[in-house]
Amino acid sequence: MTALYCSGDDYTRMYSGHMDGSVQSWQVVLDNEHWIKDSEVKICQSETCNNSFSLIVRKHHCRVCGGVFCGSCTSHRAAMPELGFQHPVRVCDGCHEELALGTNGSGAGGAIPQHSNSSEQT
């Protein structure tokens, strides 16, 4: 990337220019109120993982459900235009599975997952 620009006063669009002459544009999602606070979580919220967070095991937010997971449990990426993410962003394993199947299990895909996080694992 050789240049970065934010749109006007509202900062709802980002543009990046690259040395090859290409320009990428994406919408900035300003609402992250559904994100669980880092300070509230001590271990990965995946139901199948018990990794404790440390200097080596970092916390990552799923951009869909807002849960806090380790890197291994957020290794998938998905574009979520419904949420303002035109390019693939980090999603947890649970959201990735629900996106692949669709929330009704029909295999349609693309619907925003509604799974719950194990937030009691603090």
Q: What is the pTM of this model?
A: 0.60
Residue 55 scores a pLDDT above 80: yes
* Least confident piece of the model among 44-53, 54-63, 76-85: 76-85
Q: State the Cα–Cα distance between residues 11 and 46, nearest whole angstrom.
A: 33
Are the CB atoms for 116 and 62 separated by under 8 Å? no
Complete DSSP assignment for 61-115: E-TTT--EE-GGGG-EEEEEGGGTEEEEEEE-HHHHHHHHH-TTSSS---SPP-P
Phi, psi of 99 (to 5 degrees): -65, -40
40-44, 82-86, 91-95, 110-114: least confidently modelled range? 110-114
Summary mean pLDDT of the chain: 76
State the pLDDT at residue 87. 85
- For the chain, domains (ranges, CATH) are 1-30 (no CATH), 31-122 (3.30.40.10)
**Opening angle at CA 71, ends 65 and 74, nearest 5:** 35
